[in-house]
Structure 1
Amino acid sequence: MAGSTVPSKVQESPEGDDVARRLLGSAAQLAYDPATEVDWDTPLDKDFHGASPEWCSLYGTAYWGELTEAQRKELTRQEAASVASTGIWFEMILQQMVLRDIYMKNPAGAEFQWALTEIAEECRHSIMFARGAQKLGAPHYRPRRAVMELGRAFKTLAFGEAAYAAILVAEEVLDVMQRDWMRDERVVPFVRTINNIHVVEESRHMKFARDETLKRLEGAGWARRQINAFVVAVASYFIVTSMVNPKVYRRAGLDRKRALAAAKANEHHKSMMRSSCSGLMDFLASARLLTKPALAFYKRANLI
């Protein structure tokens, strides 16, 4: 990727160390251990949703109106588990990209130590998501094989701003959903705790990703911005469109074909995605990463 040619002075920037030191301080003061913070022992209460109903892919459709409350709650639980499984998949990609990025950096530096701290948090998040999905009664949802292979290529080839901007998009889209879910008393309590932990700790990761994206773009020419804007948009499209696995509908006892058609045409869900991503799109525009080819993919993913 064009972002791989990063000047050495950027790699060891004092400004980057300042940000990293602040994030290390935050992590020291406010961090969670999901193994003890989340109530894993209480049996699942099926009177609760797994996510805010308004975020369900079928909410507002005629099909949603036909479902019983039990079916609606089961569907939101399955969709929450699917989102968590997609989160695990991308967190594994993220960890590998960050490790590769710091490979040659000074281990005594704050940036190096913050990166390892972020990876440690992501490892805990992945275990937390896996246990949460299991408790919700969901199978192992994963993106399509072709998307998994594209992810394999992306984690191997993406560098610099392409890597960090894609990390930011994935984290911010998940963040806006989970901020709603963690405050919603209709959502099962242990999922609300998971969401709260993730939101608090991911706020540090998003700060770092924004800072790194802007830093790596300093002095970038037109061609480099065009290439990386396109790469980030394509990666974002596959991440966002993989969040709700089509298998959730059959698992919830619905007609899969009808549910897929209703979800695809659901203007309410598209509007939720667009409105929640306005701040993210403003950032990408300010970084000059909203090129015409990139915009086409963000529109297809209903992010703009």
Structure 2
Amino acid sequence: MTQTTSPPDRESVADRLLNGSVKRSYAPVVDIDWDAPLEDGKYFLPPHVLSLYGTPLWDSMSEAQRIELSRQESANILSVGIWFENILNQALLRHLLHNDPGSLHTRYTLTEMGDECRHMAMFGRTIERMGAKPYRLRWYQAAAVNLLPKTFRGTMLWVAALIGEEIFDATQRRVVDDPQLQPLIARLMRIHVTEEARHIQFARAGVRRRIAGTHRIDRVWVGTAQGLGGLLLARLFTNPAMYKRAGLDPREARRQALANPHFRANQRRGFADLAAFLEETGLMRRPSRAMWRRAGFL
């Protein structure tokens, strides 16, 4: 169903989000107790959202192995977050070249970029603090990542932002209060959820505004290409390197993860709100729907 209501005025949206940023923003360097010890027996992601939860491999693991898997999956997701927010900031900088530097829209865009810079620092410091190592891009992945910001323009910029933000955000909201979670990770998630809520509102308003005045060809292109995000995320969420670091056979672990109904259900829950938004705005096309389904998000 295509969105028919009038799109929000971007200056009024930016004004509201700027006021929200003044009232509730964080500086992780002081808002997280980096000296607090990790708690023995706590997970770095709750067991029920881990990719291998409920599989034969999971049943064969000791509690210590399961906690180590949670450390590696958390470090992997935080590394992906750093990559994405780096890409988004580059794309937003290009976007600002074509906007009034004195507008409220520009001011909020710069505010969001500041948030994302603090998030990248927070993610990197958390990986170090929890005793893990970041996951690095291979040379061909780095080459692709350096090209992506140049392709995120117009409607695609805001849809890409939502793909990178909403799925992570939905999962964080479900698990942030889990008693099995390390306090360090719970605090990181609470900060991220609060600030990402504004970023998601900004991107959704951008999508609505763009599709109200864009050509049908652009809607078809964006509505088709955005499905690639599902295939990419499915690969990133089952990174063989994290299984290897956790002491598992990476091929067998990834095979079981991709076939795991618990993991698929978590993917679908994380994507549900964004899928509904893409359907509502007419940006879920048959090819993209097939790609999200193949990746396990539908």
Cross-structure match for 1:271: 265
TM-score by length of 1: 0.91
Q: Which runs of 4+ in 1 moved over 6 A?
A: none
Shift of 1:197: 0.3
Equivalent of residue 184 in structure 2, options 183, 186, 190: 190
1: CA distance between counterparts of 2:198 and 2:45? 23
Does residue 261 in structure 1 map to residue 255 in structure 2? yes
Equivalent of residue 152 in structure 2, options 155, 158, 163: 158
Q: Which runs of 5+ in 2 are unaligned?
A: 1-6
Equivalent of residue 43 in structure 2, options 49, 54, 61: 49
Per-residue CA deviation, residues 265-304 of structure 1 (Å, 9 max, x unaligned), is: 1111011111232111010011111111111221122221
2: CA distance between counterparts of 1:150 and 1:48? 36
1: CA distance between counterparts of 2:19 and 2:238? 35
Alignment of 1:48-127 (within 5 A): 48-127=42-121
Shift of 1:245: 2.3
Shift of 1:180: 2.5
Does residue 215 in structure 1 map to residue 209 in structure 2? yes
Does residue 169 in structure 1 map to residue 126 in structure 2? no
Equivalent of residue 242 in structure 1, options 236, 240, 263: 236
Cross-structure match for 1:3: none
Per-residue CA deviation, residues 164-203 of structure 1 (Å, 9 max, x unaligned), is: 1011011001101211231111111011000000000000
Shift of 1:104: 2.7
Contact 1:52–1:180 at 8 Å: present in 2 too?
no
Q: Aligned with 2:9: secondary structure?
A: helix
1: CA distance between counterparts of 2:100 and 2:230? 31
Cross-structure match for 1:6: none
**Percent of counterpart pairs with the same letter?**
35
Cross-structure match for 2:4: none
TM-score by length of 2: 0.93
What is the aligned-residue RMSD (CA, Å)?
A: 1.7
1: CA distance between counterparts of 2:144 and 2:34? 34
Cross-structure match for 2:221: 227
1: CA distance between counterparts of 2:141 and 2:271? 23
User: Residue 265 of structure 1 aligns to which amino acid in structure 2?
Assistant: A
Query: Number of residues paired by the alignment?
Result: 292
Per-residue CA deviation, residues 217-265 of structure 1 (Å, 9 max, x unaligned), is: 1133332211112222213431453134211112112222221221121
